[in-house]
Structure 1
Amino acid sequence: MRRARASPERVTDITGIAASRDGFAVGRTKGGFRVAISLALLVGIYFFSAVWGRGATSTTGASSDIASAGVTRRVIGDGRVEAIWNVPASAKGTVLALHGCSHSALDWFPRDESRCPECRGLAQEQKITNAALDAGYALLAVSSAGHCWSRDDVPRLALALDAYGAEHGASRRRPMYAFGASSGGSFAGVLPSLSDLPRRPDGLIIQIAGGPGGTGLGLAHYPPTVLSHMPRDESTAAAVRRSIDELTAAGARVLEHRLERRALTPSFFEEESAGKVTARESAGLFHALRDELGVLDAHDLLIRDPRSFDVGQIAKLRERTPAWDSLVPDESDVREILNVAYAAHELSAQDFMKNLRWIVDASSA
């Protein structure tokens, strides 16, 4: 049951933070007044849902849990720090999502005209968000100031974490795990060393990026870390290997996760887009790649980097691509899924929950 997607909160820019509360309970009644009281309760539930579904918040400053209000987008302070989150009721913890270069927090949540019209919900990012919410974790995504993450983003992230903590005070008492890919993975890798954040992560999933080795971060106290990489990227694989050796030598807990090439199937695009690409469209894309473009081998593995497809190949692919997908790199679900299958350098949702469970267990051991 995905309570995290129910009763969405209205999307606004932040002008002040007020904590929200969940103070609702239902009791059972007996006797002749049961029907009347039940009707009153139903009216109360309807009123509660209607008000809170429109995004009303408490002004008491309390930091108790809230029922999920759906996607919330905040643009914080003069620096216009963009943070987007969704918090299930009684969330177990928070997954901090850090995008790669040319991306933003908008990729992690689906477009919604009333709640987040700017959101675009890319396939793999949205799969990670859905998995986190389904497992009872909040997901908080933050945008970098520039094309990629840099040290200049540290105070911006601190502002985002402060705003999130002020609105969801219970999150301060629960673990936070960071997932970052490429530039976001490198940025995630330095977070445990930063004393100027309101809190630091209890575990990391660093994807398609080298780990923190050789940076003098006090690796003996480094949180449990999954280094998830695509071995075809040999330079990143070498950096991952060095980080694993250094973390292991320091006594930190670390797990290597390898993202290999994946065979395409008629249902591959449907599955990897969480159903955004229909079964028919998915099968059409598969047959276009295999039978018309000839870019799959005998095992249905891509034999050409999809980033290097020429104009003619893209035009042929467009004939089978959903109308809503632009096929523009870094904005296209189909292009992202192709990059995942080729496994050279792309954010991937593969085994996200397996890796999250590992850092949760390792950090609580």
Structure 2
Amino acid sequence: MRLWATQMKLRKSERNHVVAVASVRSQPTEVIWQTPESPKVVVFIAHGCDCRAANFWDRSTHCPHCVDLPEDRLIVLNALGRRLAVISVSSRGRCWSIEKDVGIAKGILQWWIENHELQKLPVTALGASSGGYFVSALAKEVNFSSVALMISAGVFGSMGVPVGYPPTRFVHMPKGLRAKRLIEKNMAALKKKGVSVKEVRCLEFPLTCTLLTERIPGLDEAVFASVFELFQEKGFIDERGYLKNDGRATRWKQALKEKDPSMEKYEWLDHVEEELNPCVCIQ
């Protein structure tokens, strides 16, 4: 598949990194990348369902449509700090399609690596949720040096373990018993084929008065104080600050809007929601 890219923005940032946004004419999609000086490794990042590549970068003059979701942006910032060149592609649909997206992502990644003369660098990949399943399949087509699957068991049940599969790390929440059992099964299958496998277990953490303001740049402390008070009033958290139910199922947004209708359009609500999402792993 031959690719043509129309570069929309390419500027030097204050930290001497290059931020670029491109669209691929043959397969319309969003591609965002950022490279540090003298990169040592390339990392491909795949988002989860209902997300996109722009979530991983801070909104700025270099990328005005970027979303800067708190945990997503930290992945990129930490990668850049370790001199990893980062590239992310948006799925064509709500979630990743192995049938439709693998060829597109593979072609874009190959084009980008060649265009930036990064062929000598190892290439790794990280995928979250739907992106984790996608990365596990993409690793069959792309010569990754390693892959990290976050909150995802991968698609090994349907595709098996290909010969030469890269070292794999599972980042998951052991309290999700169904996913935990499937991950354990896939880890055993990978090890049986001689693949190096590791896991990172993520446990829940309490909601505190400072947690969100520390992790969401720009979040007003007074606003979060109101949110935290609401969680206590409505009994969404226990006496230790832990959510009683799945953060995605807790109707905190509705309760907040009923308490203060002006909050309906508050720009940081999605950022707060991500921190409450049980799929978020803070270490």
| TM-score of the superposed pair, with normalisation by structure 2 | 0.86
Deviation of residue 222 (structure 1)?
Answer: 2.0
**Secondary structure class of the residue paired with 1:236:** helix
> Would you say 1:180 and 2:127 are equivalent positions?
yes
1:216 maps to 2:157? no
Question: Unaligned regions of 5+ residues in structure 1, if any?
Answer: 1-12, 21-51, 55-66, 352-365
Query: Are positions 1:81 and 2:29 aligned together?
Result: yes
Q: Structure 1 residue 350 and structure 2 residue 282: aligned?
A: yes
- The answer to whether the Cα contact below 8 Å between 2:7 and 2:22 also exists between their aligned partners in 1 is no
Confirm whether residue 121 of structure 1 aligns to residue 68 of structure 2: yes
Structure 2 CA distance for aligned equivalents of residues 246 and 317 of structure 1: 51
Correspondence for 1:299: 240
Q: What are the equivalent positions in structure 2 for 1:231-246 lying under 5 Å apart?
A: 231-246=174-189
8 Å contact kept, 2:23–2:30? yes
Quick check: 1:144–1:153 contact (8 Å CA) kept in 2? yes
Query: Which structure 2 residue ranges, 5 or more long, are not aligned?
Result: none
What amino acid sits opposite 1:350 in the alignment? I
Aligned pair 1:97/2:97, yes or no? no
| Identical pairs, percent | 27
Q: Which is higher, the Rg of structure 1 or of structure 2?
A: 1
Cα distance in 1 between the residues matched to 2:75 and 2:259: 26
- Cα separation, 1, equivalents of 2:244 and 2:182: 26
Counterparts of residues 354-365 of structure 1 (less than 5 Å) = none
- 1:102–1:147 contact (8 Å) kept in structure 2: yes
Q: 1:335 aligns with which of 273, 278, 282?
A: 273
Equivalent AA in structure 2 for residue 253 of structure 1: S
Q: Whole-Å Cα distance in 2 between the matches of residues 244 and 317 of structure 1? A: 47
Q: Secondary structure at the match of 2:18?
A: coil
TM-score (norm 1): 0.68
| Cα distance, 1:257 vs structure 2 | 1.4
Conserved 8 A contact 2:152-2:179: yes
The answer to whether the aligner puts 1:230 opposite 2:178 as a matched pair is no
* Structure 1 partner of 2:230: 288
Counterpart contact for 2:20–2:33, Cα < 8 Å: yes
Alpha-carbon distance change, 87 to 322 in structure 1, aligned in 2, over 3 angstroms: farther
Alignment of 1:48-63 (within 5 A): 53=12
- Check 1:271–1:73 CA distance in 2 against 1; reply closer, same or farther (3 A cut): same
Task: Give the CA deviation at 1:224.
Answer: 1.4
- Give the structure with the higher percent strand: 2
Distance 1:161 1:288, change over 3 A: same
User: Does the aligned pair in 2 maintain the 1:99–1:184 contact within 8 Å?
Assistant: yes
Cα shift at 1:349: 5.3
